[in-house]
Amino acid sequence: MKKTLTTFALLAASHLQPLYAHSGGATLGEDGLNASATGLVRITCFDDGNGEPAKLTMRIIDHSEPVEGLLISAQLYKGLMATNVTDQISGDADYSEGVELSAGPGVYRLILNKTAAGPRRFDVEWHCKTADDIHTGTEIIVDQFQ
């Protein structure tokens, strides 16, 4: 668990692109046995001088070999608002559709889970944006990864 948590945190930090992209990844359920393996992440959107955050956008990609009935999903919520997305085709080299949650500045919660036992190697991409789609301040903290 600790190794995977560190891997996700390091990937999240090392994949930061200075030109508006934030992404990170790891393997959920690395041992392959835990069907209920879950990641819990906090993403904070703040004004870094580019403007007041209005929303958080995200998408996910499953880099694992295809396994029927084994998919990776992400739920994004803040306050009383939520959305989710699932990469419907694992191993196809394409991201899921993008989703956005327009809940203003502050802390958004991201839950990562899978549909069955087996490891899922994934990347998540997220962006805090203003109402005019200008990238603004973003920080991430991984609270749980098991």
Q: Which two tokens stand for residue 120?
A: 């899922």
Element (H, E) at 3: helix 2-14
All residues at 6 or more sequence positions from 10 whose CB lies less than 8 Å from its CB, including other chains? none
Summarised one tens digit per residue, pLDDT across range 43-83 is: 999 999 999 999 999 999 999 999 999 999 999 999 999 99
Task: Please report, for the chain, the start and end positions of each structural domain, with discontinuous segments joined by +.
Answer: 2-145
- The strand pair at 81-86 and 72-78 is best described as antiparallel
Average pLDDT, the chain: 86
Question: Taking CA 125 as the corner, what is the angle to CA 70 and CA 52, rounded to the nearest 5 degrees?
Answer: 140
User: What is the CATH code for 2-145?
Assistant: 2.60.120.380
Confidence of residue 19 (pLDDT cuts 50, 70, 90): very low
Structure confidence at residue 128 as a pLDDT band (50, 70, 90): very high
Which letter does DSSP use for residue 13 in this model? H
Token pair 């390091």 is found at: 10
Cα gap 90→72, rounded to integer Å: 8
